[in-house]
Structure 1
């Protein structure tokens, strides 16, 4: 696999799209082994896409795009203003609240970071916040989005690792809340030290609170309905994706009355592009994964880690550090696809809970979206706000520290992750 790894790294450095880099380097493995039928790469690519559980991915992507097209974002921004507008650094706090509220809608950290940069970024800067701080908050705040159901990272991890997606969805709420608290505390400290003003000067009136809650209630109910549907066996993960699409259409037409033919077509076109990118990546990664399994790479890596420590928490720490290092160069979705078959068996071998590990894994992998040199969310925010990467990196260090601290809590206190899924799913 050494030549395969070198080929993958070189292709990435050349700027080739990740999916092609994975697929081509996977084919290199078969060229090294002429005894293997050359038809296997094609068979693997096609058979991977036939997994029925993967049907949830395009359905949830479509549901998220339809909900965004329905005008729900503006309603959630009003609710975020009521929740956090009175705090120091109010717009920064509002952006974190909006990320938490948007988790059940978009499911994409990159999309959420880009959207909020256009909505709030220039206004934050005009109110005296530094460009680096603004970009850091808008970028790191988006870590909440894929952790709140229905995060695509959980769907991919659960499908590959044969882990209950319902339990993964339930496990995401408490970690997202902890991350929100950690980031909000960091923003509060910085805002008080620098004198960043609140976004609102007066408390919201009861009428304003009621209006904000009634406007955002449909988005808030979305992840709750998903969990209840899975908990009581009303839907399978794939079926609830179809329900999510219908739910989004009904909200856009009946509740907000903003989903018109033009916006519906735009949402479908965006979904087509998003689904194509994700599924193409999953399909071509099957070629790479076949070589990993055949060469017994999971066993080799597991043996190397166990030579360092056989403690479950120690192993999880090493895995998280490895994921963070890989995240500097590789997209989170790719990491989840490639590393789940390697590390999940090791965690099971040591008696770890797959749901607990899955949440920690997805959080660690998502961090790579916000770190140089290739963080996609980082580049999206910095390009929109015209912020230098150096300024962004320097101002984001306290936020990175807060996220790292919460990740440690998730590793060493498993019940912060497992309490809700154990409660809901009777375990």
Structure 2
């Protein structure tokens, strides 16, 4: 009955349109009142939830991504990607995906990826004869890579939701191969579509021009080297890499590329602070919500429920995947991670599934949710950028959902895709 009151309150508040953060906080308050928990205990859990050094990575990565997103890096990455794949039939769709791979490794945000790459690629693809809804579908599905490829904000949130027991560095490195696998799968499908629908070829870029494009893009791509190189060599932690990346992004944007006006910086800082504030409020409220769930022994009950369904971990993983896919269509990614990680992690631990592996499973599931109606934020951004109706974009997305589900199954049932690189790098268990 305790859990029913807590979850019912959350469901009702979300149904009436209350912002997710406040719905979570009020639900925790009602749950605490129901089980006669002192409100002081709830406040302590809330402050403890945001009083963590590792959380500093979130505002720094968000700011670095915002600076690079608005500083001309998207256009340079598109030109860089064109050098490698633009000459293939259907090359612009491949350029879109490869550019998303690079940009995701800088921004860590699917929404920023879709907005930045989409604003460059969708008009260009339309000009070359690609349907706009198809261009929007390629952009949206390609941006899911940003959820996986470091620096992913959501990996930091997952580590926090796991109680700090999962290394952020391990999650960052673990996301590299799944992200590349996702991009490669989408590229294979785009090539098949290009031959079937006779999409145009591009022209090869002359060597001198290609070298110039490479040098121009190299400054932005160095952000990736700084983040991953610093972590792997042990020069700095994942959290410290965020601040270094932020300083580098500022230097490159304002002093190398110089496409961004100094007068626009205060507005960018204001938008970043608003975003960070929303995230931190959500994290604080989610910490109190998670504590109430623990006091109600909800994680233990959920574990018993899943293990009661079957003793086969592959069957249980499929059940968890289906649940995450459904919930991902109804809520945004961060609150789901914060609410469900403490609930599902005991289940997967009981099955002997590595928490880093489960983190990747959760990221892919919820990444698909970002491009699925009715609440897919990335889907709405793609629709707005392409000036196409949601229904048209969703119709064009249908084959891409199949490709993403295929990748999800590979990542779910082949743990080595997620765990091989972190083990090789020696960052597991940090």
**What is the TM-score of this pair, normalised by structure 1?**
0.94
Cα displacement (A) at 1:97: 1.1
Report what 1:164 is aligned to: 167
The answer to whether the aligner puts 1:182 opposite 2:153 as a matched pair is: no
Report what 1:206 is aligned to: 207
Cα displacement (A) at 1:387: 2.1
Report what 1:32 is aligned to: 34
Report what 2:149 is aligned to: 148
Contact 2:86 2:92 in 1 (8 A): yes
Cα 1:132–1:259, aligned 2, differ >3 Å: closer, same or farther?
closer
SS of 2:418 mapped into structure 1: helix
Cα displacement (A) at 1:58: 0.8
Structure 1 Cα separation of the partners of residues 140 and 284 of structure 2: 29
Report what 2:249 is aligned to: 248
Contact 1:107 1:146 in 2 (8 A): yes
Cα 1:384–1:258, aligned 2, differ >3 Å: closer, same or farther?
closer
Report what 1:8 is aligned to: 10
Cα displacement (A) at 1:260: 4.2
Structure 2 Cα separation of the partners of residues 177 and 235 of structure 1: 25
Contact 2:75 2:117 in 1 (8 A): no
Name which of structure 1's ranges 181-190 and 386-395 shifts more when overlaid on structure 2.
386-395
Cα 1:248–1:407, aligned 2, differ >3 Å: closer, same or farther?
same
Cα displacement (A) at 1:426: 6.8
Structure 2 Cα separation of the partners of residues 4 and 347 of structure 1: 23
Structure 1 Cα separation of the partners of residues 415 and 204 of structure 2: 38
Report what 2:45 is aligned to: 44
Where in structure 2 are the equivalents of 1:378-417 lying within 5 Å? 378-417=379-418
Structure 1 residue runs without a partner (length 5+): none
Structure 2 residue runs without a partner (length 5+): none
Where in structure 2 are the equivalents of 1:295-310 lying within 5 Å? 295-310=296-311
Cα displacement (A) at 1:180: 0.6
Cα displacement (A) at 1:259: 4.8
Contact 1:69 1:263 in 2 (8 A): no
Structure 1 Cα separation of the partners of residues 340 and 103 of structure 2: 27
Contact 1:146 1:153 in 2 (8 A): yes
Structure 1 Cα separation of the partners of residues 69 and 136 of structure 2: 22
Cα displacement (A) at 1:47: 2.1
Report what 1:22 is aligned to: 24
Cα displacement (A) at 1:304: 1.1
SS of 1:16 mapped into structure 2: coil
SS of 1:88 mapped into structure 2: coil
Report what 2:195 is aligned to: 192
Structure 2 Cα separation of the partners of residues 83 and 13 of structure 1: 47
Structure 2 Cα separation of the partners of residues 303 and 426 of structure 1: 32
**What is the TM-score of this pair, normalised by structure 2?**
0.93
Structure 2 Cα separation of the partners of residues 234 and 206 of structure 1: 36
Where in structure 2 are the equivalents of 1:350-361 lying within 5 Å? 350-361=351-362
What is the alpha-carbon root mean square deviation over aligned residues?
1.8
Structure 2 Cα separation of the partners of residues 88 and 296 of structure 1: 56
Structure 1 Cα separation of the partners of residues 73 and 121 of structure 2: 16
| Aligned pairs, number | 424
Structure 2 Cα separation of the partners of residues 208 and 73 of structure 1: 18
Name which of structure 1's ranges 180-189 and 227-236 shifts more when overlaid on structure 2.
227-236
SS of 2:331 mapped into structure 1: coil
Contact 1:26 1:287 in 2 (8 A): yes
Deviations 1:37-70 (A, max 9, x none): 1233333222211111111111111111122343
Cα 1:212–1:390, aligned 2, differ >3 Å: closer, same or farther?
same
Contact 1:69 1:264 in 2 (8 A): no
Contact 1:249 1:259 in 2 (8 A): no
Cα displacement (A) at 1:88: 2.5
Report what 2:92 is aligned to: 91
SS of 2:51 mapped into structure 1: coil
Contact 2:74 2:120 in 1 (8 A): no
